Amino acid sequence: MMIVDTPRVLKIYLAGYMSGSCLDKCLAWRKQIRDHYGNWKDAGLPYPVTFLDPFNGPEIGTISKDGLKSEVPPKAILMGDYMSVKEADLLIVNWDTFGEKRASVGTPSEMAWAWQLGKPIITIIKDSENMKHHPFIGGFTTIFVESIEELLNSKHINYFYKRVNHANY
């Protein structure tokens, strides 16, 4: 008798810059990725992935312009992000700060948690940015891509999806 496994959904955490002053840009790249996988190959069907996102819920509208305050208690934000990273199978990290002067503070922590938990990390970062060559960012990152478009045109997410689902020969 042949046993058929039900494919499991790959959980992807979307990590990146958060600021009320450029909230539209902080949300746009996440939506672009979700939309792409929501209509896989223009077939009207979603790819078997789900996205975990720190911007999930109505609280996103309460983020201060500097990105340092919210109506959500700080420890709840920290623990919520940690829970999401633990739950995820894979992280997509966007290193873009959208021209803001403040560095991304939570993103390196999320990368460190993922690395400690043995989770692959795909980092979106331009080659011209020095952070790509930083020992921690370079050490944590499994795969670098330079843009959202490069990520969406690659087979990187598909590769990790296939690694956690049944073999098909």
The model's pTM is 0.89
Asked, for residue 168, whether it belongs to a domain, the answer is: no
Q: What percent of the chain has pLDDT over 70?
A: 86
What pLDDT digit, counting tens, does each position of 49-103 carry? 999 988 776 666 666 666 666 777 888 888 989 999 999 999 999 999 888 888 8
The reported pLDDT for the residue numbered 65 is 66
Is pLDDT above 90 for 165? no
Mean pLDDT value of segment 32-46: 84
The reported pLDDT for the residue numbered 117 is 98
Residues in the chain: 169
Asked, for residue 93, whether it belongs to a domain, the answer is: yes
Asked, for residue 153, whether it belongs to a domain, the answer is: yes
Q: Name which of 40, 33, 37 is nearest 16 in CA terms.
A: 33
DSSP-assigned beta bridge partners for residue 91: 13, 121
The reported pLDDT for the residue numbered 52 is 95
Is pLDDT above 70 for 167? no
**Dihedral Cα 104, 110, 114, 115, nearest 10 deg:** 50
Asked, for residue 109, whether it belongs to a domain, the answer is: yes
Residue 168 pLDDT grade (very low, low, confident, very high; cuts 50, 70, 90): low
Range of the domain at 109: 10-163
Average of per-residue pLDDT values in the chain: 86
Which sign, positive or negative, has the C-alpha torsion 11, 23, 149, 16? negative
Query: How many domains does the chain fold into?
Result: 1
CATH of residue 24's domain is 3.40.50.450
The reported pLDDT for the residue numbered 134 is 85
Three-class DSSP category at 50: strand
Asked, for residue 59, whether it belongs to a domain, the answer is: yes
The reported pLDDT for the residue numbered 41 is 72
Asked, for residue 110, whether it belongs to a domain, the answer is: yes
Asked, for residue 48, whether it belongs to a domain, the answer is: yes
Asked, for residue 95, whether it belongs to a domain, the answer is: yes
The reported pLDDT for the residue numbered 68 is 64
